Amino acid sequence: MANTIKLEIITPSRLFYRGDIEMIIVPTLFGEEGFMANHSWATKLLDVGEMAVQEPGSQGFKIAAIAGGFIDVKDSIVVYADHAEWQEELDKKRAEADKVAAEEWLAQNRDSDKMDVRRAEVMLKKAISRMRVADGGRRAGR
């Protein structure tokens, strides 16, 4: 059996996950990156996207959508995410509705305040990532 490492995933509203895992794959700003036990210490910022956790002894991954944050890898891993949802908790219809709402807003308010436009773009990105995760994520075929 491969080495395991302790993982804690925290969001503002709850302790999202706690347990020993074999591997976690997170979307860093430079693309997806996997961390296993005995990784060199690192602190990396995370993008909006999908996160995958492999528990010991299982072949597949537990998939969740996360909305940015950071990962702190030391002798244990701590992931902080602004928001996180497991695949099975996701409401695809709501994500779709959010996507449509963000798109409409962007179409109408192209030239409004920069911050607002950016916020809407992030909203859109989150909605798309949630929809993707709800459909099984990038690892659906495996």
User: Where along the sequence are the contacts to another protein (CB under 8 A)?
Assistant: 8, 10, 12-15, 28-30, 40-45, 70, 72, 74, 78, 80
Cβ nearer to another protein, comparing 12 with 141:
12
Instruction: Indicate the helix (H) or strand (E) that contains 43.
Output: strand 42-54
Cβ nearer to another protein, comparing 73 with 134:
73
Cβ nearer to another protein, comparing 74 with 92:
74
Cβ nearer to another protein, comparing 80 with 105:
80
Distance of closest approach, residue 113 Cβ to another protein, in angstroms: 14
Distance of closest approach, residue 1 Cβ to another protein, in angstroms: 26
Distance of closest approach, residue 43 Cβ to another protein, in angstroms: 6
